[in-house]
Amino acid sequence: MSQVSGRSNQGVGNVPLDGQQRSGLADGESWLGGERVCIDEACRLSDADLEKAYACSLKGAPNDIVPPAWLKAFPDLQRPRGRAAEDECGAWRLSPPLHFASARNLDLKAMVERTRALPAPQESYARGRVKVTYALNDIVHNPPTTTVIQPGGRTLDGTIDLNLRGVPSRVQRLAIIAEDAITRLMALDLQAPAWSAADPLEIRVRRPDRFDSFDGWTSDVVSFIEINPSMDSVQDFSVVPHEIAHRFQIEARKMNGKDHGGLCDSIREGGARLLEDYVFDRANKYVQDAKFHFQNPEIGFFSGTRPYATGLFWKYLAERYGTTPEDPSGLGVYRDLLSVVKQSGYTFDALREMCMGLGTRLEDVWSDFLLKNLLHNLSNAHAYREEHQAPDSGAGGAGEPLSALTVNLAPLTIRDLAPWAAAYHEVPGAGRRKVALTHLTGGAMLSRGIHLDAKGQVLRDFPVPIGAPPAPVTVGQGERLVLIACTVDVAARFQIVVT
Give the strand pairing for 473-475 and 431-433.
antiparallel
Please report which residue ranges of 296-361 form alpha helices under DSSP H.
311-317, 332-344, 348-357
Among residues 89 and 118, whose Cβ is nearest to Zn ion?
A: 89
| Count of beta carbons in the 10 Å neighbourhood of residue 41 | 18
Please report whether residue 283 would count as binding Zn ion according to CB under 5 A: no
Quick check: bond before 307 cis, omega within 30? Answer: no
Q: Give the shortest CB-337-to-Zn ion separation in angstroms.
A: 16
Please report whether residue 89 would count as binding Zn ion according to CB under 5 A: yes
| Span near Zn ion by CB under 5 A; candidates 81-89, 135-143, 331-339, 430-438 | 81-89
Distances (CA, A) of 331 to 158, 243, 279, 335, 376: 30, 17, 12, 6, 20
Query: Which residue in 400, 431, 399, 452 sits closest to 499, CA to CA?
Result: 431
| Span near Zn ion by CB under 5 A; candidates 130-138, 264-272, 444-452, 474-482 | 264-272
Among residues 268 and 433, whose Cβ is nearest to Zn ion?
A: 268
Among residues 31 and 494, whose Cβ is nearest to Zn ion?
A: 31
Q: Give the shortest CB-48-to-Zn ion separation in angstroms.
A: 32
| Span near Zn ion by CB under 5 A; candidates 84-92, 160-168, 298-306, 343-351 | 84-92
Please report whether residue 409 would count as binding Zn ion according to CB under 5 A: no
| Span near Zn ion by CB under 5 A; candidates 86-94, 179-187, 354-362, 491-499 | 86-94
Distance CA(130)–CA(139), nearest Å, equals: 17
The b/e string for 348-359 (b: 16+ C-beta within 10 A; e otherwise) is bebbeebbeeee
Among residues 89 and 341, whose Cβ is nearest to Zn ion?
A: 89
Q: Give the shortest CB-265-to-Zn ion separation in angstroms.
A: 9
- Residue 425 has φ and ψ, to the nearest 5°, of -125, 130
Q: Give the shortest CB-97-to-Zn ion separation in angstroms.
A: 19
Q: Give the shortest CB-296-to-Zn ion separation in angstroms.
A: 21
Q: Give the shortest CB-334-to-Zn ion separation in angstroms.
A: 14
Q: Nearest 5 degrees, angle CA 439-CA 442-CA 448?
A: 50
Q: How crowded is the C-beta side of 241, counted as CA atoms within 13 Å?
A: 27
What is the residue type of 269? E
Residue nearest to Zn ion (CB): 89
Among residues 221 and 485, whose Cβ is nearest to Zn ion?
A: 221
Among residues 287 and 486, whose Cβ is nearest to Zn ion?
A: 287
Name the 3-class secondary structure at 295.
Answer: helix
Distance CA(236)–CA(234), nearest Å, equals: 5
Among residues 86 and 426, whose Cβ is nearest to Zn ion?
A: 86
Distance CA(223)–CA(201), nearest Å, equals: 8
Please report whether residue 227 would count as binding Zn ion according to CB under 5 A: no
Among residues 272 and 409, whose Cβ is nearest to Zn ion?
A: 272
Count of positions on this chain that bind Zn ion (CB under 5 A): 4
| Span near Zn ion by CB under 5 A; candidates 218-226, 256-264, 265-273, 427-435 | 265-273
What residues numbered 341-360 form the site for Zn ion, per CB under 5 A? none
Q: Give the shortest CB-195-to-Zn ion separation in angstroms.
A: 19
Q: Are 413 and 496 in contact (CB under 8 A)?
A: yes
Please report whether residue 272 would count as binding Zn ion according to CB under 5 A: yes
Q: Give the shortest CB-335-to-Zn ion separation in angstroms.
A: 18
In degrees to the nearest 10, what's the CA dihedral of 488, 489, 492, 498? -10
The sign of the CA dihedral 176, 214, 26, 41 is negative
> Residues interacting with Zn ion, by CB under 5 A?
89, 91, 269, 272
